[in-house]
Chains A and B, each alone.
Chain A
């Protein structure tokens, strides 16, 4: 099992450009999450999908959109990137909300100039 995979690993964007971060898991998990990690602020939840077909906002959703394409895949889209979105983005998955243990991907380091 590959676990949780993310692409790309690194990305540099100019202000105003758009891009989609991809996440996939092969553990047949129901719930998937997107976080951003910034120095001194820990991880903050952007969006999550408790199950296929549903998505909900987390703590910092502004400037992002998500798509739960199927049970395996959960993408994060930046429509018009801003320097404030420079961060490391982590995708995570969990079997179900009751299991409470999240498995994380390797992260995507995004720089917006």
Chain B
């Protein structure tokens, strides 16, 4: 069965620290990959997405993610976090052929100490 794993459930960092959140998926075919962010009290928003091409994708607010096909991974990174990055981050995967089968990871809660 298809699944998405986010191994870090809660990450606590100080401002200006570097961030990397892990995401691994299990699916044998071509996939599209997403990171969504949910700020406290708000709805999910798309942070970035990968469909094809350059495996290093850049999103909003200085975030980027790298697709490594051989490792089935799509890790999210940011060189220097800010207090305003405090949020929950969700990795999601869909088979290339069908968006209705979007699978979300369980989420990583990121807390930034000012």
Contact = CB atoms under 8 A, between A and B. Distances in A.
A104 B94 CA distance: 16
Contacts of B49: 100-101
B67 interface: no
Contact of B44 (A41, A90, A94): A90
Contacts of B46: 101-102
A31 B44 contact: no
Contacts of A90: 43-44
B104 A44 contact: yes
Contact of A50 (B32, B100, B106): B100
B102 interface: yes
A97 interface: yes
A31 B102 CA distance: 13
B38 to A, nearest CB: 9
Interface residues of A, number: 27
A101 B90 CA distance: 14
A105 B32 CA distance: 22
A42 B51 contact: no
Contacts of A45: 100, 102
Contacts of A107: 43
B29 to A, nearest CB: 15
A48 interface: yes
A44 B105 CA distance: 9
A42 B43 contact: no
A40 B9 contact: yes
Given A44-B104, A100-B94, A106 B43 contact: yes
Interface in B30-60: 32, 34, 36, 42-46, 49, 51
Interface of A: 4, 31, 33, 35, 40-45, 48, 50, 56, 58, 90, 92, 94, 97-102, 104-107
Given A31-B99, A102-B99, 8 more contacts: A42-B6, A43-B44, A43-B90, A50-B100, A58-B100, A97-B99, A104-B44, A104-B45
Interface of B: 4, 6, 9, 32, 34, 36, 42-46, 49, 51, 90, 94, 98-100, 102, 104-107
